[in-house]
Amino acid sequence: MTSDSITTTAPSPAASAGTWRLGDREVNRIGFGAMRLTGMPWDEKPRDRDTAIAVLRRAVELGVNHIDTAAFYFLPTRSANELISTALHPYRDDLVIATKVGPVRGKGEGLAFAPYARPEELRAQVEENVRQLGVDHLDVVNLRWGSGMGKESGSVAEHVGALTELRDAGLLAHIGVSNVDAAQLTEAMAITPVAEVQNRYGLTERGDDDLVALTGEHGIAFVPFFSVGAGVPGAVPGGTVASDESAVAAVAAAHEVTPAQVRLAWTLHRGEHVLAIPGTGDRAHLEENIAAGSLRLTGDDLARLDAVATAA
């Protein structure tokens, strides 16, 4: 065979930041969060359904093989899980879909959660995700702790134990935890292997630096949500306020990228075990988010960004 006849396959854009093992599956570190697919409750109207489906298909075309969702991501006329199933089923063999259980959301349009699910109620929530996604089992199920936006204290043992029973019954493959502190993660790890921790975290919302380090020590994926919006005024309900947006803007200008891309790149620089799941219902924003995986921040960039004061 001559060299002229040899062909190579270029890596996908979503693979530009490398890969990490999520449970027993290897995923590209740039993934996709489905929360914004439907539009947010405070938007004037839901996202266009066909546009949302096109965004999902484009994400997979660009190499995304890790999608984060939940049955409680819905509006009265839209459901993230149903959009995923419509757009991508039958799913590619390399696609990992992670979902969350725990909160019991009412039928209204807000994000408020009703009283938190009891351990024995988690089976129905897992089965709801299985049904909506059209699968026979779920790849990863995160126990999303707490009935509000902030973290809540309390033991996660009974709920994690209930998920291990559902795993043993074949309804899910791997267990993660979300919205937890270090003590709750340690408690969960004593019961079962933990595939991931999913908490709100970003450049200007650094309260979980300890968890980033702890998960790294144990080879657990750390999957921040709201990593772009955390700390940006008005972007996230209850979010803190960045004290120095000028540093982000300066780094963005130096690399000819957007501030959002800088924030995503900074997150990925926190460790090889950190995965990004930026969400959007807009194709252009999707492509910008995925392109952030190829942004290489310099030591000076990181020092400047790390110096940004963090609101508690």
**Would you name the residues annotated as active-site residues?**
73
CA distance 32 to 16: 15
CA distance 182 to 257: 34
Q: How many CA atoms are closer than 13 Å to the CA of 200, on its beta-carbon side?
A: 21
Q: Would you say 287 and 62 are in contact if contact means Cβ atoms under 8 Å apart?
A: yes
Strand arrangement of the beta sheet that strand 66-68 belongs to: 32-33, 66-68, 96-101, 138-144, 172-178, 196-198, 221-222
Question: What is the DSSP code string of 58-95?
Answer: HHHHTT--EEE--TT-EETTEEHHHHHHHHHPSPPTT-
Q: What are the tokens at 51?
A: 């546009």
Residue 27 pairs in a beta bridge with: 20
- The type of residue at 292 is A
